[in-house]
Amino acid sequence: MPPIDCEDQELLEGFLTETTELIEKLDDDLITLEKASDDTELMNRIFRSIHTIKGASSFLGFDLLVKVAHKTEDVLNRLRKGELVVTPEIMDVILEATDLVKLLVGDIKAGDIQEREIDGTIAKLLPFLSENAGAAQKAAEPVQPVSETSPAQSVETPVPDAQTSPEVAPAPEAVPESTPPSQPQPAPVPAPKPATDVAPKKAPAPPKPADSKGDDLSDNSTVRVDVKRLDDLMNQVGELVLERNRMIQINQDLQQGEAERPDFQEEFGKLTKRMSFVTSELQMQVLKMRMIPVEKVFKKFPRIVRSMSRDLGKEVDLQIFGEETELDRSVVDEIGDPLIHLIRNAMDHGLESPDERVAAGKSRVGTLVLAAVHEGNQIIISIKDDGRGIDTERVGRKAIEKGLLTEEQLAALSQREMFDLIFLPGFSTKEKATDLSGRGVGMDVVKTNIKKLNGLIEIKSEKGQGSEFILRLPLTLAIIQSLLVEVEGEVYSIPLSSVLETIRVDQRKFHMIGGQEVLKLRDMVLPLIRLQKVFNVQQRSESEDFCYVVVVGAADKRMGLVVTRLVGQQEVAIKSLGNYLANIPGIAGSTILGDGRVTLIVDPVGMIEGNE
């Protein structure tokens, strides 16, 4: 990390944590503000956030950041004083400025401060600061009906220190040509490319950095833990220490030959129970600390939906439920992207334009419901729209057009399998790729990420009524419920989250289709994989007629794993196999069983992929 001009690393870290939090909140607040522009409390909070960011960054000497924050603050100040009125256009600019702040903070965080082009954004802010803000507002956005209040304001002086950044271009003419801050950007962020030649008010640019950069910002290298949770943890550890002492005592008794005592066994049994109780409590506590509310991901979405609905000319009511649902941070980190794609998908393909909706007898405003809920050891996230639903016929035709499958194959597909077609890489019903969709990548990303998390995707859709995408994800990736199976004497562990069912079958019922062993299971033809073969396990005994098939699913695929025997269910902690053995096909990791032996965890996802 190249040294930042800041002696006190701790100070810097504090700054970053605080700023990141403020920015996250800011995005949310700004969107809310647009809807409730007369909420002074909210307005003040937004102002304070930006003010804090400005203050802290000037203290640490981040000049670029100060400049941007400062101008934004000025505009906000005028809004706060009622000198300006909240309009979508002002919000666009403020949001863009917030994005720039994010970008700059991101740079600082990455330890790599670069000269970024900030004048463009600042130039957009300036018109709102000039003496005749009302007029500037008019000049910049001719379409926008100027609010009645603005002429009155023109008398008032601009905020006192509006001139602190001398190099800023004179405002009015800078506006039309101001491009988003895209010039020298070696950063991984794709330069916000739209609207380079279009008038700035149409610019769909702001959301772009928010999508990609926002992720970086909310990265989770530090945790804030409730003190109460820490206290609880300490209590648990205290109990564990007591139990350990008891264990040492019992061991001493054993050494001294007191094991014959009648109550010894009972004592030991009790200790075992208490130990197991305390450790599972402890496990829960630690797990809880790793949990963060899914809100962390969800709160990005109002912003994305807002900008998309503006771009697409659709009216959308986004409803979010269950944002307080907690799940493991590792999962939270991974679900952001798939959810964005699913939301984009719903906005672009699912929901119709207001006119179409009216024509179809629906209300003008489409509804998009994002909900999270716990169910056992899983979290279920659903994205539901009341749009046009998936047109399976069209999907099928497209798939054939694109050469992804043949007529005969299509004819054999069930309704569900038809839905699954949209997950094929390269699949898109759009004729032309746009900025938003049509490249056939999005749903593939969704599938890949969900698979990576050992999750499942389910699609429900009715033509004309809307679609629902349901994601089932494990709560945590560190400790999992697993099914232990035996393959010719070797024990393997299969994540229970992927297991759909287990069946005992006669091997003579297996069929061979094109070199692939399959099993007819109810109305489904299940491809089979013999673990013995993929793992090269030596045959130990005569093969029996009966064996067990573990039906596993990953994302949208199903498959049967053939094993010799089922051993049982156990909660296991995942251990990595280290760098050297990290990428063995079909193996996700390892775990240690009660007897101290290592057992490998099967990776059903990899298996299914490998078999394709």
Partner 1 sequence: MQDALVPVKADDAHGELIQLVSFNLDQEEYGVDVLKVREIIRMPVVTRVPNTPHYVEGVINLRGKVIPIISMRKKFGLMEAENDKQTRIMVMDVEGELMGFIVDAVSEVIRISGSEIQPSPAVVTGGIDQECIAGVINQAERLLVLLKLEMMFSRDEKKFFSGM
Q: Which residues bind partner 1 (CB under 8 A)?
A: 490, 534-537, 575-587, 590, 592, 596-600
Residue 250 or 534 with smaller CB distance to partner 1: 534
Q: What is the 3-state secondary structure (H, E, C) of 520-538?
A: EECCEEEEEEEHHHHCCCC
The sign one gets for the Cα dihedral 125, 127, 132, 136 is negative
Residue 225 or 581 with smaller CB distance to partner 1: 581
- The minimum distance between CB 474 and partner 1, in angstroms, equals 21
- The minimum distance between CB 551 and partner 1, in angstroms, equals 22
Q: Are 464 and 389 in contact (CB under 8 A)?
A: yes
Q: At what angle do helices 40-60 and 63-80 cross, to 10 degrees?
A: 160
Residue 318 or 605 with smaller CB distance to partner 1: 605
Q: At what angle do helices 63-80 and 88-109 cross, to 10 degrees?
A: 150
- The minimum distance between CB 452 and partner 1, in angstroms, equals 17
Residue 363 or 576 with smaller CB distance to partner 1: 576
In Å, how far are 55, 427, 555 from 523, measured between CA atoms?
A: 66, 27, 20
Q: Is 238 exposed, middle or buried (0-12, 13-18, 19+ CB in 10 A)?
A: exposed
Residue 44 or 576 with smaller CB distance to partner 1: 576
Residue 443 or 600 with smaller CB distance to partner 1: 600
- The minimum distance between CB 434 and partner 1, in angstroms, equals 36
Residue 536 or 539 with smaller CB distance to partner 1: 536
- The minimum distance between CB 564 and partner 1, in angstroms, equals 15
Helix (H) or strand (E) holding 177: helix 171-177
Residue 310 or 575 with smaller CB distance to partner 1: 575
Question: 466-474 and 524-530: which strand pairing?
Answer: unpaired
Q: Please, what's the b/e burial string for 429-468 (b: 16 or more CB within 10 A of its CB; e: otherwise)? A: beeeeeebbbebebbbbbbbbbbebbbbbbbbbeeeebbb
Q: How far apart are CA 120 and CA 100, in angstroms?
A: 10
In Å, how far are 394, 418, 567, 599 from 16, measured between CA atoms?
A: 49, 47, 50, 42
Ordered DSSP codes for 342-369: HHHHIIIIISPPHHHHHHTTS-SSEEEE
Cα 174 versus chain centre, distance: 37
Residue 541 or 583 with smaller CB distance to partner 1: 583
Helix (H) or strand (E) holding 479: strand 479-487
- The minimum distance between CB 32 and partner 1, in angstroms, equals 47
Residue 132 or 611 with smaller CB distance to partner 1: 611
Residue 426 or 585 with smaller CB distance to partner 1: 585
The owner of tokens 């790599």 is 112
- The minimum distance between CB 582 and partner 1, in angstroms, equals 7
- The minimum distance between CB 46 and partner 1, in angstroms, equals 47
- The minimum distance between CB 584 and partner 1, in angstroms, equals 6
Ordered DSSP codes for 383-423: EEE-S----HHHHHHHHHHTTSS-HHHHHT--HHHHHHGGG
Q: Are 404 and 385 in contact (CB under 8 A)?
A: no
Residue 222 or 538 with smaller CB distance to partner 1: 538
Q: What order do you get walking across the sheet with 557-563 strand by strand?
A: 499-506, 546-554, 557-563, 524-530, 516-521, 511-513
User: Of the candidates 171, 219, 172, 213, which has an alpha carbon nearest to the alpha carbon of residue 191?
Assistant: 213
Q: Which residue blocks in 402-559 are alpha helix, DSSP H?
A: 407-411, 415-420, 442-452, 531-534
Q: Collect all residues with Cβ–Cβ distance below 8 Å to 547 and sequence separation of at least 6.
A: 504, 505, 507, 562, 563, 564
- The minimum distance between CB 581 and partner 1, in angstroms, equals 5
**Beta partners for 2?**
none
CA geometry: angle at 29 spanning 25 and 34, to 5°? Answer: 160
Residue 247 or 405 with smaller CB distance to partner 1: 247
Residue 97 or 531 with smaller CB distance to partner 1: 531
Q: Are 25 and 303 in contact (CB under 8 A)?
A: no
Q: How far apart are CA 494 and CA 552, in angstroms?
A: 9
- The minimum distance between CB 507 and partner 1, in angstroms, equals 22
Residue 160 or 580 with smaller CB distance to partner 1: 580
Q: Are 328 and 296 in contact (CB under 8 A)?
A: no
- The minimum distance between CB 496 and partner 1, in angstroms, equals 20
Q: Token pair of 524, please?
A: 């489904």
The sign one gets for the Cα dihedral 269, 273, 278, 283 is positive
Tell me the backbone φ, ψ of residue 350, rounded to 5 degrees: -75, -65
- The minimum distance between CB 167 and partner 1, in angstroms, equals 48
- The minimum distance between CB 130 and partner 1, in angstroms, equals 58
- The minimum distance between CB 610 and partner 1, in angstroms, equals 11
